[in-house]
Chains A and B, each alone.
Chain A
Amino acid sequence: MRSNSEATHVGMEIEATTRPSGATLPGLSPLSETLWREKANTEIIGDVSARLTWKDLTVMVTLSNGETQNVLEGLTGYAEPGTFTALMGPSGSGKSTLLDALSSRLAANAFLSGTILLNGRKAKLSFGTAAYVTQDDNLIGTLTVRETISYSARLRLPDKMPRADKRALVESTIVAMGLQDCADTVIGNWHLRGISGGEKRRVSIALEILMRPRLLFLDEPTSGLDSASAFFVTQTLRALARDGRTVIASIHQPSSEVFELFDRLYLLSSGKTVYFGQASEAYEFFAQAGFPCPALRNPSDHFLRCINSDFDKVKATLKGSMKLRFEGSDDPLDRITTAEVIRTLIDFYRTSQHSYAARQKVDDISKVKGTVLEAGGSEASFLMQSYTLTKRSFINMSRDFGYYWLRLVIYIVVTICIGTIYLNVGTGYNSILARGSCASFVFGFVTFMSIGGFPSFVEDMKVFQRERLNGHYGVTAFVISNTLSAMPFLILITFLSGTICYFMVRLHPGFWHYVFFVLCLYASVTVVESLMMAIASIVPNFLMGIIIGAGIQGIFMLVSGYFRLPHDIPKPVWRYPMSYISFHFWALQGQYQNDLRGLIFDNETPDLPKIPGEYILENVFQIDVQRSKWIDLSVIFSMIVIYRIIFFIMIKINEDVTPWVRGYIARRRMQQKSGAQNTTIAPDVLTQSPSLRTYVSTQTK
């Protein structure tokens, strides 16, 4: 194993040197390289570090009215291993867009021109090499920090890797991110107090550096953190960079301590470069340009003050309200508008030594054709992913009180209520209707309450979305794991409440009748879950989801054959597709047969003949007695499968079709516009910005 990887390594190095322009090489992933290096305990043999350069980068966005707008204009810069580059600028200056462009995460309606080279090659950024930490931490609140990281490790590390190695990797990541003190604390959610915001952010970063990426992008890693936490996060990022990684982060209003930790600074204003170079030299640069930073001022505050055109607006409004007392200031910034300052600075930068040096350096780096870094993604097998996800999701469900436990309590309470109301229902004349309404209430309203788990599921979906975007696992694994992990809880809930209901009401005696009742309840509740899952894939907003889910179930209930007898339901829409789509319909058909067939009921007065259950089924409830109740049950089970497939398809459509359509529309609009204006659009191949589609497909391969 060890010699094997060594051989590949050497081979790769030779290839890299002999055939510099060669196609994709079977190189090692950064992770394997790191592991190998740690084991072999030697210095770097193959250079797997990432050098990123971008030249004349322009990003154009099509707005809904067909207008185009340049969000970034002619940016040139580079990022080297071992350095921490900070992207700074006022809000709306294009920080995030630059980060997105560099990490190939641009939205489909943004078009990119210029060259972005990784190790001198125009290859698309493979996403194992680059990790992206988003601004919001979507983590599972019920897991501890160590659990979160180790589950993520098991999801992505190769199966063959020994357990001890995985554990060692997890522990070293925890130490690297300074999480050892809170490793066994739960992360926390809305009702559970957990770790602090800064710790959460570090957990998010830890998850991304687990696979030892060479290139790390972070979108505002310090936003919402207090100064100590922000300092800690930035300090760890700097340490990560010092390990030979390339770290690029957008940062908004750093405090003085945080600013001192930056190696390189990329200062943007309205999409143009104001400064790119050593962070420590920016101070000098501003002084030379005529805007020296006053003493006792945070340089970054000063830089942002100079280039934030919002200050013009603020001053104008303050003057408008005639309230600004002009307390004679010697600040040069008070005499000149920021728009002018920005213009001066951009011109100054263009002709400065910094700009020249940056271009020179970009050319130098581009000439060296380095190794092609292999996509890391998830290296675990599908089975391993599904197993780990199931386990994780099970643990989450069992710890989250609101997910199933609360529902279990409510179900038991409600079924006890039902049980006492229909207590010992018997076979009197009145009990005919009572049995019917009991079944309809159980299958109508009791299953309805399954909607209660929707908010927790929406939370789950957020975590899923983040992990899917980062290529941890696929949709199939998620669907399978969710189904499997929910099963024990749903069985427990329906078994307990079904049993209470069955024996208190004394429905049709007989073991198989009891089994049918419980199974039917289980199937119905699972259908509701699957239905809500499908809805969650379409409407992510949880309030709208609940309203839509309730509406659909209301209509299903209406056509189930209880509120209106099956033969009386108008044929066109309601009976033909709708009542057969409704799971309530099948549940009631089955349960009526299960309950009434074989029983004999008293008539209205004792002297009249008794009424057999079959007669009631056919004439009162209008049930199709030809069909076996087990067929009805299997229809419900097949609905579960169908809804899960719908969920799967919807997710796929969302990630594949929607960006494509959006990109297509944007391109069409732009073509129409440019046809009219006769301007050229970037002819580069890169015009088609890589969408989520290409990104996900590289992951799944």
Chain B
Amino acid sequence: MEIEADTTEREVQPYAGFDRGTFLAWEDLRVIIPNFGKGPTKRLLNGLNGYAEPGRIMAIMGPSGSGKSTLLDSLAGRLSKNVVMTGNVLLNGKKKGLGYGVVAYVTQEDVLLGTLTVKETISYSAHLRLPTSMSKEEVDSIINGTIIEMGLQDCADRLIGNWHLRGISGGEKKRLSIALEILTRPRLLFLDEPTSGLDSASAFFVVQTLRNVARDGRTVISSIHQPSSEVFALFDDLFLLSGGETVYFGETKSAIEFFAEAGFPCPRKRNPSDHFLRCVNSDFDIVTATLKGSQRIHDAPNSLDPFLNLATAEIKAMLVEKYRRSTYYKRAKNRVRELSIDEGLQPPTQHGSQASWCKQLWTLTKRSFVNMCRDVGYYWLRIIIYIIVSICVGTIYFDVGYSYTSILARGACGAFISGFMTFMSIGGFPSFIEEMKGIMMMTSGFFRLLSDLPKPVWRYPISYISYGSWAIQGSYKNDLLGLEFEPLLPGDPKLTGEYIITHMLGIELNHSKWLDLAALIVILICYRLLFFTVLKFKERASPLFQTLYAKRTIQQLEKRPSFRKMPSFPSQRHQPLHSLSSQDGLDSPLN
């Protein structure tokens, strides 16, 4: 009820409480990777101070491995489990966990359903997350407003596209991902390299829209990698990191002055951001060393270049030192202190999705149904394959009859259908699942009669777990009971179905075929429940472990004097993870 009351108030004044916006400040932020016993502890971030204000867009820049993503993650409260964070992250002066809704985080990958149009994607997401109490018109106006705000009106009715459907461009996808995040009007927006993989025009478009989002009174923080000149010019504030330390924090425009004062002026024909990164990217040391080693610098370029005489490691150290003594640092520190004692602002409270459970269920079902309908590879392909295979099976066992050999044929037919055809359901999944099914099938009672199965292991647990065994028993009973077959030698009495089932197939007739079917359904429900439990467990239990782990680590670290060393650490984030399915751009529908 409280939430509802809160939201109605929100509707009247959509930006109520936003008048002063959200101030985010961080003080002495340190992130370390503890490494018990083995090797030195790795420091990802080392005593960072900074703040972000509403109405402004901040860029976090630095060479790869400098801790951009770590800083973004620690501000957004998304750090991975194996690292420990100390220091304060203050939201409007309060040290508070950032809930969903207050902050939005746009990841580097765009996780979108390829078969939906842009407008559908936004509207399903709106229905999933906006409060149920909102009227249809209000929801529609939010959807349309967001589409226009993100400049998606031209492609609103186009499909997003997947591996076999050509859809919208990469820049449009990125803007769509941002649109989904700003639907709930978050006050803080984090973005992880929103322009990676985009050409200059699309990158410009994305950052321009972000700037507009910021101008609406929101706080936007984005990590960015090698921006072009136009894109760089759009950022208000710059946080330049190298090796986890602040090289510069302040207004973007003043950064050029700062570098000039430090003795590294930006050459005229250079993009300032390229220059900054060139100064602090220690990879260039390696490059220069290797190039010198292979004696390949034939025409040693302009020796006026200070970089050839100075290692970037030195430049970086000079800059860090210079920054620490600069007015920018003092100003930042003062502002952070100001923001941290400012208690007049209420940290916004908002929790998760505001839509009711029923509405969520309905929207999700609808969305997933639409997706399955449109995706040829999801079910349609399988339907075609199933029809073809069952026509094959049908013609092979055409009119099977009641002769003696048809007894075996009926058995084989049942086994093939319940075995091989369910096998096809997993067609695309990695082969080990097929392997598992292979074992399940073997115990289902066709390849080895149930009564012959070795009792320990095979008969008792596995053949009862195996869905194949229930399916096959049920289908045999369904098929054979009540039929009569020709005997092997003419003249003998006819064989009844009951006789065949009990004597030839070794199945007990204690329970009916309906019980078998019921068992099958129970197994189905069990698998779904298992899936649910695993998901829930991952979600619930892991933060618990994480806190325990962090506490333990801090305790351990306090005892250790030697954790002052600071080796460089490569970012884990950008390791391309080539899953098998990504080889052809095929993602599991689960994602």
- Which of B226, B256, B297, B443 is A226 in contact with, Cβ under 8 Å? B226
Asked if A344 is at the interface of the complex by the 8 Å CB criterion, the answer is no
Q: Which of A1-9, A153-161, A292-300, A520-528 contacts B (4 or more CB under 8 A)?
A: A292-300
Min CB distance, B30 to chain A, in Å?
26
Which A residues are in CB contact (< 8 Å) with B435? 410, 414, 449, 452
B413, B420, B577: which contacts A554 (Cβ < 8 A)? B420
A residues in contact with B209, CB < 8 Å? 318, 323
Beyond known contacts A175-B294, A324-B212, A451-B431: 6 more, CB 8 A cutoff: A227-B278, A296-B266, A296-B268, A320-B153, A417-B442, A437-B448
By a CB distance below 8 angstroms, the chain B residues around A569 are 396
Check: B385 CB closer than 8 A to any chain A CB: yes
Residues 291-325 (chain A) with a chain B CB within 8 angstroms: 293, 295-299, 301-302, 304-305, 308, 310-311, 313-314, 317-318, 320-325
Which listed segment binds B: A57-65, A354-362, A379-387, A420-428?
A420-428
A445 engages B441 (CB within 8 Å) = yes
The number of A-B residue pairs with CB atoms under 8 Å apart is: 265
- Do B428 and A323 have beta carbons less than 8 Å apart? no
User: Would A414 and B438 count as touching, CB distance under 8 A?
Assistant: yes
Query: Contact at B228–A418, with CB atoms within 8 Å?
Result: no
Main secondary structure of the interface of A (DSSP, over half): helix
In the bound complex, residues from chain A placing their C-beta under 8 Å from that of B409 are 564-565, 568
Contact of B442 among A178, A441, A562 (CB under 8 A): A441
Question: Of residues 211 to 247 in B, which have CB atoms within 8 Å of A's CB atoms?
Answer: 212, 215, 225-226, 228-230
Using CB atoms and an 8 Å cutoff, list the residues of chain B in contact with chain A: 63-64, 148-151, 153-154, 199-202, 204-205, 208-209, 212, 215, 225-226, 228-230, 256, 266, 268-272, 274-275, 277-278, 281, 283-284, 286-287, 290-291, 293-294, 296-299, 301, 381, 385, 388-389, 392-393, 395-398, 405, 408-409, 412-413, 415-416, 420, 423-424, 427-428, 431-432, 434-435, 438-439, 441-443, 446-449, 452-454, 457-458, 575, 577-581, 583-584, 586
A256 contacts across to B, CB distance below 8 A:
269-271, 274-275, 278
Q: Does B578 contact A189, Cβ atoms closer than 8 Å?
A: yes
Residues on B with C-beta less than 8 A from A175 are 293-294
The smallest beta-carbon distance between B252 and chain A, in angstroms, is 12
Q: Is A547 an interface residue (CB 8 A)?
A: yes
Min C-beta distance of B102 to chain A, whole Å:
23
Interface pairs (13), CB distance under 8 Å: A178-B296, A228-B281, A296-B272, A301-B230, A314-B205, A421-B448, A421-B454, A452-B434, A541-B584, A543-B584, A547-B427, A550-B424, A565-B408
Of the stretches A230-238, A345-353, A483-491, A648-656, the one at the interface is A230-238
Q: Say whether A368 faces chain B, with CB atoms less than 8 Å apart.
A: no
* Residue A574 lies at the interface, judged by CB distance under 8 Å to chain B: yes
Write out the residue numbers on chain A whose beta carbons fall within 8 Å of the beta carbon of B256: 296
Inside 8 A of A458's CB, which chain B residues have their CB? 583
Q: How far is the CB of B427 from chain A (nearest CB, A)?
A: 5
Distance between A603 CB and nearest chain B CB, rounded to angstroms: 12
Complex CA distance for A420 and B453, rounded to whole angstroms: 9
Complex Cα–Cα for A189 and B278 (A): 30
Closest to A190 in B: B578
A639-675: CB near B (< 8 Å → 1, else 0) gives: 0000000000000000000000000000000000000
In the complex, the chain B residue whose C-beta lies closest to that of A313 is B201
CA distance A555 to B388 in the complex (A): 10
Q: Are B428 and A317 in contact (CB under 8 A)?
A: no
Contact B434 A449 (CB under 8 A): yes
User: Measured between alpha carbons, how far is A529 from B63 in the docked complex, in Å?
Assistant: 46
Query: In the bound complex, what is the Cα–Cα distance between A554 and B389 (angstroms)?
Result: 9
Chain A, 317-339, CB within 8 A of any chain B CB: 317-318, 320-325
Is A181 an interface residue when CB atoms closer than 8 A count as contact? yes
Say whether A176 faces chain B, with CB atoms less than 8 Å apart.
yes
Residues of B within 8 A of A410 (CB): 432, 435
A254 to B438 alpha-carbon distance, docked (Å):
53
The distance in angstroms between the C-alpha atoms of A541 and B277, with both chains bound, is: 40
> Are the C-beta atoms of A226 and B63 separated by less than 8 Å?
yes
Contact flag A564-B291 (CB < 8 Å), given A90-B201, A546-B428: no
A116 within 8 Å of B (CB atoms): no
Q: Is the beta-carbon distance between A570 and B293 smaller than 8 angstroms?
A: no
